[in-house]
Amino acid sequence: MEHLNAKIYLNDLRGPNLFEAHQDSFGPLSLFNNEVLNAAKSKVKSCSGNTFLVLVPVTGDLIYSDTHTERLEVNVGQALIVLRPADFIFEIENPFDAYEISFLQLRIQNLNKRLSVLTELFDFDLTENQDHFTEIVSNRDSSIIWPFKMSIKRFNGREEILHTLKEYSGVFLYVLAGAFEVTGRLLHANDGLSLWNLPEVDMEALSNNAVLLMVELES
């Protein structure tokens, strides 16, 4: 049987913080959390310099601020990427008085030393390009050379995709909704899977309207 370089992160065992410790980091991806923020509440956090901070609202919009950015609204269907040269403090606020919000937080080490300061919003639409992954962040048509690529797709039931890994050496997949079989591994909502040193990834949705987030990483 062929050996597969893989590590699975089960939500039932780990909870919403899939990994945030050094021993759990996957290459330059050092943190991946699915966080909940109660109504009208805020969180203050710190982030290391030279690290991409990525925020993706899942349910409900959020407000982001730091010493360089004042109250930036990030909507569902957008991703915010922040990069600072030194350690910094930031705040995430739930603007709704009646209900909680949830969002993904990723941190990815910056392997492109030419880029040091960034605050940029990216729009994406799950209803477009339904035959393929929708690219949120990539080097296609971009003036920035990104050390990672982030894509998302909503699948029909039993829809299958064979995705070729070209310029990146590892991939992290996260199930936002539904269930999948990925390279023989069964994943449910909020489970993650890291794979490395392989030419392609086979994915099959086991439920209708299943949603998969994919982050391809440089080594």
Contact 217, 37 (CB under 8 A): no
For the chain (219 residues), the mean pLDDT of every run of 10, in chain order, is 81 76 80 96 96 98 96 98 96 98 96 83 89 88 82 95 84 98 96 93 97 92
Predicted local distance difference test score (pLDDT) of residue 1: 42
Predicted local distance difference test score (pLDDT) of residue 79: 98
The neighbour count for residue 148, using CB atoms within 10 Å, is 27
Predicted local distance difference test score (pLDDT) of residue 106: 97
Q: What is the pTM of this model?
A: 0.94
Q: State the DSSP code for 11.
A: H
Q: What is the architecture, at CATH level 2, of domain 6-217?
A: Sandwich (2.60)
Nearest CA to 88 among 71, 108, 68, 106? 68
- Which pair of tokens denotes residue 179? 């269930």
> How many residues are present in the chain?
219
Predicted local distance difference test score (pLDDT) of residue 130: 79
